[in-house]
Amino acid sequence: MPGSTIGEVARTAGVAATTLRYYERVGLLPAPTRIGGQRRYDDAVLARLEVIRLCKAAGFTLEEIQLLFADDAPGRPASRALATSKLADIDARIAELGRAREIVEWGMACTCPSIDDCTCGIHGASRAAV
């Protein structure tokens, strides 16, 4: 099987073809084989793109993702240090989103005429979330 074209991979992964070319240029994706001058990607590229997407969602920069992919030192100390730091950030974001969810749920249950005139506790909930 010759592999997927850049357009097929882009559609499947939900990214632009220009993003794939950029990731290739900066080393986040390995250079694909070419058939008749056309890029052909194997299925492993989709897993790598998912890792990149999730790392970006977790707050990693592209430079940090490059570090993670390039770190082949025994024990991967640079990757571990970076991941430990990001886990703390992720935990803080999860806690913040949990508080935001509570506010939204409280607001949905509120029957007061406005948030400024709320007497059912939304103001106390928002102060507690800060």
Same domain, 22 and 65: yes
Structural domain range at position 28 = 1-70
User: Is the pLDDT assigned to residue 27 strictly greater than 90?
Assistant: yes
**Better pLDDT: 28 or 110:** 28
If 0-12 CB within 10 Å is exposed, 13-18 middle and 19+ buried, where does residue 4 land? buried
* pTM score of the predicted model: 0.75
Least confident piece of the model among 18-22, 70-74, 96-100: 70-74
Give the tokens for residue 17. 């073809």
As a whole number of Å, the end-to-end CA separation of the chain is: 56
Least confident of 9-23, 61-75, 110-124: 110-124
Report the domain count for the chain: 2
Same domain, 22 and 37: yes
Between residues 101 and 126, the one the model is more confident about: 101
Indicate the residue among 49, 70, 91 that finishes a domain: 70
pLDDT score of 20 more than 70 = yes
Choose the final residue of a domain: 22, 53, 70: 70
In three-state secondary structure terms, 114 is: coil
Q: What is the CATH number of the domain that holds 26?
A: 1.10.1660.10
Q: Which amino acid is at 118?
A: C
DSSP class of 27: T
